[in-house]
Amino acid sequence: MTPMASALFRRRLPEPLSRQLAGQVAAVTFVTVGELTKWTVIRRWGPTRVARLRSLLDGLLILPYDTRVAARWGELHAYAQLRGRPRTVNDTWIAACCLVRELPLATLNTKDYHDFSKHEGLELLP
């Protein structure tokens, strides 16, 4: 999801995906906010770019952490491990946020979420 937010920030969203998302409420997870914030620190963004990112995030719905998301994360992480295909912690949080709220995931990295789609029913927007 972070590459997707980055594409939004740079105004470089692929046209087919841009059309598919037109008129939809844009949301990111609490994880994405953390990843983007880390990115600004590591890349030593100045105050103007940081303010622009914060402005973008202010215009989006932030999907929060809650008990249901935490429980779903635990299930997803365990099932993936039992299948012999452990997934990254952050990708699992993102999938859990979407699955709990029955939201599709728009991502530029569908391969990272393929197992969640195949085994858990996560809807991916190509």
- The reply to whether 18 falls in a domain is no
- The reply to whether 63 falls in a domain is yes
pTM of the model: 0.83
CATH assignment of the domain containing 117: 3.40.50.1010
**Full domain range(s) for residue 68:** 2-8+24-125
Q: Which has the higher per-residue pLDDT, 14 or 101?
A: 101
- The reply to whether 13 falls in a domain is no
The segment with the largest mean pLDDT, out of 46-60, 67-81, 96-110, is 67-81
Q: Are 121 and 99 in contact (CB under 8 A)?
A: yes
Q: Which has the higher per-residue pLDDT, 11 or 119?
A: 119
Q: Into how many domains does the chain fold? A: 1
9's tokens: 């920030």
109 backbone dihedrals φ, ψ, rounded to 5°: -125, 65
Cα–Cα separations (whole angstroms), residue 118 to 16, 100, 112: 23, 16, 12
124 backbone dihedrals φ, ψ, rounded to 5°: -110, 135
| pLDDT-based confidence at residue 125 (cuts at 50, 70, 90) | confident
CA distance 40 to 52: 11
